[in-house]
Amino acid sequence: MEHSELLAAVRRPLSPDTQIEVQATREEYDNVQDIIEEENVKFPRIHYDGTRQVAIVSAMPTPLHGEMVGQLLRTISRAVDKMPGLAESIKDGITIATDMRNTKDTGETPTTRNWDGALRYLTKDETGPSHTLMIAVEVGLSQTYASLRAAISYSVCALNCRVGIAMYIKEGNRSKRPSPKYYDTLEEKLAAVGAIENALKSQLQAHPFGPLVVGEDTWFGTIASVALETSRKPPDEITPDTVLDPSQSFFKQAKFQIVEESGFVAGEVPPNLAEITLGDCIPTHILRDNTIEETPVNFFYQDWFEGSFGSSMFQTAMERVMDKCRVRRS
């Protein structure tokens, strides 16, 4: 194909979790998507915002990004599974889907996005099996708040999920980003990586939300903030291309800060997550009981969050270590 700015963006090396936007037609997006599929390239992935006529190029997610998506969905599913008085046959309908492509008309041009993760419910009737989208999850690291909000709004307004949960993670500036480090042998490299790993583990004990620094190298910056935003479709009629503001959400407190300047500030359970109920996980016609439907799903706790977040932040730092530590070519 002739020169394509979108194809050039896809060919560029991108740091993990990077997202860039490129003005493109739907035809150009489809052509580049065909090339990616033919070459069997897993990352980067491309999405298309039909409303703005913009292609979105997404690099491979970091361990912190991927782990928080998985953990949020797993803890919700486990909380439902532990509920007494709920038949196992009903619980068995809950499924988890990650990184799934969805295309929907949001105007004259379709929009295509990959959600980070979703809780769905599988039903079977005379027409066959089908999934109902219940809760969608998006996590943003090294991503603008506006793009994260647009992604979760697509799941709420276009795909009609019951609740959208967006986690926005802001890593502070790393004062000195590590430069490549070269070693004469693999043994020397592995020894150096092991020493850095031990130092980072010690750092994590003292700084559970960063920074993780060894010598002059900052392998992970201070977590400036983590915010959890929950969104429901407003009762008023809205179009599929609507981007929700927190004030438009059905929740009284749609956005809640849980980490601020490297410290946990949310209390035991953020109020907006305390309002997620069983009816958000299982369709109404399956439960057939309003009382059960309104039962809170208690899935978010400080100990769980700090443990999961710290572990995956450490893994992300170690990915950066492995990327920068190299054996010198002879």
**Distance in angstroms (rounded) separating the CA atoms of residues 111 and 153:** 12
Q: Does 316 lie in the same domain as 217?
A: yes
Q: With bands split at pLDDT 50, 70 and 90, how would you rate the model's confidence at 2? A: low
Lowest mean pLDDT among 8-12, 86-90, 248-252, 314-318: 248-252
How many domains does the chain fold into?
Answer: 3
77 vs 261, higher pLDDT: 77
d(CA 265, CA 197): 28
CB–CB of 303/171 below 8 Å? no
Give the chain's length: 330
pLDDT score recorded for residue 253: 36
Among 57, 78, 97, the domain-final residue is: 57
Reported as a pLDDT band with limits 50, 70 and 90, residue 251 is: very low
Question: Per-residue pLDDT averaged across 231-238, rounded?
Answer: 83
Spatial neighbors of 28 by CB under 8 A, at least 6 apart, are 4, 6, 55
Q: Do residues 148 and 116 make contact, with C-beta atoms less than 8 angstroms apart? A: no
pLDDT of residue 29: 96
**Does the pLDDT at position 123 exceed 60?**
yes
The residue among 174 and 325 whose pLDDT is bigger is 325
Do 203 and 235 share a domain, yes or no? no
Together in a domain, 21 and 113: no
If asked whether residues 266 and 235 sit together in one domain, one would say yes
More reliable by pLDDT, 289 or 217: 217
Task: Judge if 147 and 287 occupy the same domain.
Answer: yes
Say if residue 27's pLDDT is above 90: yes
DSSP string, 196-249: HHHHHHHHHHH-TT--EEETTEEEE--EEEEEEEEE---SS---TT----GGGS
Whether residue 153 is found in the same domain as residue 213: no
- Return the H-helix or E-strand segment holding 315: helix 302-324
From the number of C-beta atoms within 10 Å of its C-beta (0-12, 13-18, 19+), residue 137 rates as: buried
| Same-domain check for residues 158 and 80 | yes
Q: What would the two tokens of residue 158 be?
A: 């276009």
The residue among 42, 57, 72 that closes a domain is 57
Please check whether residues 81 and 128 belong to one and the same domain: yes
Confidence of residue 255 (pLDDT cuts 50, 70, 90): low
Q: How far apart are CA 298 and CA 137, in angstroms?
A: 17
User: Is residue 72 predicted with pLDDT exceeding 50?
Assistant: yes
Identify whether residues 259 and 209 lie together within a single domain.
Answer: no
Rounded to whole angstroms, the Cα distance separating 323 from 240 reads: 40
pTM of the model: 0.90
| Mean model confidence pLDDT for the chain | 89
Residues 161 and 233 in one domain: yes
If DSSP codes are grouped into helix, strand and coil, which group holds residue 65? helix
Q: What is the pLDDT of residue 320?
A: 95
Q: Please report the pLDDT score of residue 247 as a whole number.
A: 57
Residues 74 and 210 in one domain: no
95 pLDDT band, cuts 50/70/90, is very high
Confidence of residue 158 (pLDDT cuts 50, 70, 90): very high
Host domain of residue 43:
5-57
Q: Do β-strands 54-58 and 163-171 pair in parallel, antiparallel, or remain unpaired?
A: unpaired
Q: Is 42 left (phi over 0), alpha (psi -120 to 50) or beta?
A: alpha
Residues 262 and 245: beta-carbon distance below 8 Å: no
Q: Residues 240, 186: one domain?
A: no
pLDDT tens column, 174-208 = 777 899 999 999 999 999 999 999 999 999 999 99
β partners of residue 118: 97, 136
